[in-house]
Structure 1
């Protein structure tokens, strides 16, 4: 079963049918010439089948064969590819990449000729770096080059030291078929007799029996491992963000692999039989996954960097990936304030770095001694913000379910309630909080708009009521309550862990403007010493760990606020969901606050794996691919989605269908909806809102009850009464349409 030219196909299928008449064979796609599939398609002047179409036909054929089986008998299905593992597919990709979503156990046919050792090992490594399990390596015995002998020793040694032994092949060599003694005296009857005897001998040989037994062993071991994985995890693993009294082996999902937007996980079909089934990764693996799981380009990039560097100390040294990434990031963010990149390992620590930067700069300017005022300096932010789980980042948020159980928590700051963007009953609107309503600003409780884009047309909206309110609150906090602030810390546009709350961008812009336009609120200093690029009032930090780098459809959310931060923190999509890495990018005026003859005045912060070359290399590749997706003028998922939302450059759009989003907002169980970029968030009506709500669990139970054996399941990680879905930045739009239909079916 596979993709083959007709001339080659006739030979192969005829040969199999002639010598193994009981075997069923089929070819799913046929072409005229015995050349590479991509050329065969061109020569036949045919439209090449998509990789998705090829995979769907393979799966359907396997399902059809499986239904015919007497399951008391052991039967095998072999999918033969055309050419080598890196031969082109019909549409020009690589076959190793095309077949990867199936991640079938793999038999590699090695080369016993001159140069075969190199080509065989190269083929194996190409498969391994793409996540295949190569169980078996088959090749002919040959007395001159003795490739089989070398490869047996080589892979035997590899297997001894491997933690994943099943991904290292067992090497089996068999005798080559008999040669025709004199082609001029060829006799079909003699040839048939010789080949029949050859196949009989080989099929009964200890080598083939060993190969069969080993493949069976690997298959049974894989299945057994998956079957007991949840039980073993329940005894050994301490899960994050989880109450273990509610966790059991039944609730734990065993993942075999992941590719694109999907996990390959163990689930039960309609007959309660455990099977491997795709599950859509609705949380984008806690928002990290951007270019699809198992992305071959990122895997190759990681392998290259690991082979070139491993990890090298980043104190007084520099390496190419770190320098190139820093330059790329400053260029991509396109913020004239930003110039310096500091590396750390994740979003929480990146926020800690940003706070250290900002507090030192503020303290230096306003004469605040850190050793005397350590407990008095706070941040200005928004309610329901979340900046991570380290102590410093937790203290930069109001008390919440995430931090109030921590004995060391000591919230330091003032957090504004804010106007929220909501799609309610098909209409985009702003809900104004009570604090602003009671302040004599003449603002309505709800303000409706014709479209989401209209909300982001900030120049046409009145910013003064917001600025008046913010100034009066800050003046009271500083002058009457004698509070000191060291930074403004904001998640621009969308507060993720706080419940996917969409903030009115005009309110966040107003907050930044007030802080920068009234520096005398925060302390006395000689303003004449500041240059035009220096920070004003307080350093402004944007936590773009979640919202940055195209997650909302734009490279930086700052542009939609029509303002620029002095410090920005990026993580999550930075490395496309492969390894942890975080950058804290700041202005020169922040950087200069740490310059001194004394070492202790420097930013004494770091990690053993600061700027690790693997992460920097992957991040550089990830940013290049994301940038390419955003600029691709072909019929990409970006362009298709933007067109459906009626959006042009710098206008709001989403991968989620505009009409489906509006329809979902109409259901009586739904309080409001928000969609932007790859994010779809649905807030359900519930007596108890927030993270403690169980409203989203009912949706999970509904999804679990669906019989999706022929399609895919959904892996959902809700936020209390908020169900959210997040795709990669290059999703299969057809899959998103199916998910929207599932959501609509639930509410109907």
Structure 2
């Protein structure tokens, strides 16, 4: 079953990191534990090497006495944990490590007033598996205390360690360090803008262990440790107050939300990988982000590699104006995008979001139509050809690309510039792969999903072709002039997560590129040039969303567009960035001797170096992923449940449409199911009675399997 983790936030829990090895981390950890002696503290040492000769837990136990003190993984070799684990053949994978620590913290929080978890070595020392400590421990969502380096050179190592933790999403309320003649703390507190508390230098280690312990106890008694307790207690109190205050969401106007119907405000304290850490009822609850934060998450929340790429570009460039300039991230990303699309396109135009990228695409297409039209057809009111239920964004121009629907019905300036086909869809229902919603035609059943996508498939092509030509002929006779075909290839996202029959879309593209078959007035266009440009809206489906070998979904349809747009997963889910790619034929239609011939479109932050740098890093990571998918056998069984009307699964996308008398975006039929998912650790948003769960491209298949089992158990 899908596993969730809930921890009590009223029990402060801190991970103790050292700025380096040999900074006195264990002595400082003992000071912290000793300071909270009256609060029944708990001390956890997840990994100890050099055991039993070395034991940080044993030392702290000898100082504090009654505290709960545990060591979880012990190795005899006094080397880095990853080396000791290899040498002793006792490697522990990250999931087991995290699970064991969470279990121990949970037990401690039931009894302790404060919990300290001491790491081994420096911030970026390896753990048992080889994963860096700072990277692995972020999965707990705990705040950090950094033990600074008071030695010569310690300013650099401490600030570097501090920034490394910040980069990985840690809150660091306190830097604890020893006083020295170098006065490192003065620069560190100024640069880090974090509270620094000093301890006296500890006494030298005595050869007699009993005397050494007495000396250390006396040392701790001399320190003014109450200031640590007072500071951390105030910090924790304010931390909870801030989380509580956020629940009011004062001043926030949410998108796609009727505020009068809001029953729960989800306070997200942090996000790591596929999970949110949500503050609720005095606890931190871990939730799987089942909508991939509006379909953006390709590489998980808080991805350190992406954060580093962003920081590198931010530090080197900030932002650089886009017209007539080039910088390395923009140059390299442009070449990479053209390469990923097999050099079918020749130009990349940058913008900031999917809606804008689509408006740019239509500007390109309409201008190209006008240049190629040879004044044979009127161009004062060009229309688009599209699919009913298509959705291309919320800006005014993007709204006009969609047929009348719930998203634009209350928008007074909506004009609907197009004609839209009610397209056939494919689905899995009662264990059968079916293409349905075929106008005046019975549903067609297939043995396998691969049969539906086979490029050789032609069973309905003639029928589709006649249907499309007939509709286009009628439209042109009615005076409509089409400047572009606009498609969400394979999947209509906001329109209900409908999976369009790929043969229909392929046939539609082919027919539109033969305008003289349905419009005798259409001028002939020589060579490869098409009078009507085909636009793919790949904002949702592109950048590996539908498969680890699919930066673009064109191969699934077997046809290439003239213009395509990407956003969302392009930056792995970290930053807003959008691109519109065009063929050289489209680009040439904007060449000329005057500025009026150019594409007059742009934004202040077009092709910002930070976004381009992050996108480059994302594409590099995607390239090396093995990929994941929803378990076909579990999907098949799910489709047979009576409460499910249809199931669709492709790549990281899972769609479950519930059987209901109500349907459509305004339906509340999925309310109880969504509530049950939330209570079991999965956050989703719905499209009416359509529930979708979006994994990221890095979600482990076992987690996806657990979610399928959870869905099945809730709907049986």
TM over 0.5: yes
2:219 aligns with 198
Deviation track 1:84-103 (CA, whole Å, cap 9, x = no partner) reads 00001111111100001112
Q: Which residue of 2 aligns with 1:460?
A: 457
Kept in 1, the 8 Å contact 2:48–2:56? The answer is no
Q: Which position in structure 2 is the counterpart of 1:115?
A: 153
1:82–1:189 Cα change, 3 Å = closer
- 1:80 paired with 2:118, answer yes
Per the alignment, residue 414 of structure 1 pairs with: 419
Number of the residue aligned with 1:616: 612
Distance 1:382 1:9 in 2: 71
After superposition, the C-alpha distances for 1:369-419 in whole angstroms (9 at most, x for unaligned) are 99x844x21100100000000111110110000112111100011100111
The answer (yes or no) to whether the contact 2:376–2:521 under 8 Å persists in 1 is no
CA-to-aligned-CA distance 1:459-478 (integer Å, 9 cap, x gap): 13232211121111111211
**Partner of residue 202, structure 2:** 177
Q: Secondary structure at the match of 1:106?
A: strand
Q: Residues 94 and 484 (structure 1 numbering): CA distance in 2 closer, same or farther, change over 3 Å?
A: same
Q: CA–CA distance in 2 between the matches of 1:191 and 1:673?
A: 68
- Paired position in structure 2 for 1:57: 100
Find the counterpart in structure 2 of residue 486 from structure 1: 483
Question: Is residue 633 of structure 2 the alignment partner of residue 659 of structure 1?
Answer: yes
2:384 and 2:482 in contact (8 A); partners too: yes
Counterparts of 1:493-512 in structure 2 under 5 Å? 493-512=490-509
Aligned position for 2:306: 298
Matched, 1:308 2:306: no
Moved more, 730-739 or 282-291: 730-739
Rounded to whole Å, the distance in 2 between the matches of 1:607 and 1:522 is 38
CA displacement at 1:335 relative to structure 2: 5.1
The answer as to 2:252 corresponding to 1:237 is yes
Alpha-carbon contact 2:319-2:610 (below 8 Å) kept? yes
Q: Which residue of 2 aligns with 1:256?
A: 269
1:673 maps to which residue? 647
Which has the larger displacement, 492-501 or 457-466?
Answer: 457-466
Which of 473, 476, 487 is the equivalent residue of 1:475?
Answer: 473
Report how far residue 716 of structure 1 moved: 1.1
User: Are 1:549 and 2:543 an aligned pair?
Assistant: yes
The answer to whether 1:346 aligns with 2:365 is no
Corresponding position: 1:211 with 2:224: no
Inter-partner Cα distance in structure 1 for 2:178 and 2:419: 74
The Cα offsets for residues 483-536 of structure 1, whole Å up to 9 and x where unpaired, read as: 1000000000000000000000000000011111334655767747x444x3x2
Q: Match of 2:198, SS?
A: strand
Tell me the SS of whatever aligns to 1:569.
strand
- Give 2:705's match in structure 1, choosing from 737, 741, 747: 737
Given that residues 370 and 379 in structure 2 are in contact (C-alpha distance below 8 angstroms), is that contact kept between their aligned partners in structure 1? no
Is 1:24 the counterpart of 2:68 in the alignment?
Answer: yes
Relative to 1, partners in 2 of residues 1:519 and 1:127: Cα closer, same or farther, differing over 3 Å? farther
Kept in 2: contact 1:350–1:584 (CA 8 A): yes
Contact 1:670 1:682 in 2 (8 A): yes
Larger relative helix fraction? 1
CA distance in 2, matches of 1:739, 1:267: 22
Q: Does structure 2 retain, via aligned residues, the 8 Å contact 1:385–1:397?
A: yes
Q: What residue is the counterpart of 1:319 in the other structure?
A: 327
Q: Distance between the aligned counterparts of 2:411 and 2:212, measured in 1? A: 80
User: Does structure 2 retain, via aligned residues, the 8 Å contact 1:551–1:679?
Assistant: yes
CA distance in 2, matches of 1:422, 1:256: 38
- The answer to whether residue 702 in structure 2 is matched with residue 728 in structure 1 is no
Compared CA separation, residues 626 and 154, structure 1 to 2 (3 A)? closer
Calculate the TM-score normalised by the size of structure 1.
0.87
Task: Name the CA distance, whole Å, in 2 between partners of 1:576 and 1:662.
Answer: 30
| CA distances 1:638-692 after superposition (whole Å, capped 9, x unpaired) | 3xx5xxxxxxxxxxxxx22212211221122211110000011011122232101
Q: What SS does the aligned partner of 2:686 have?
A: coil
Match of 1:193, SS?
A: helix
Q: 1:426 aligns with which of 431, 437, 440?
A: 431
| Corresponding position of 2:396 | 391
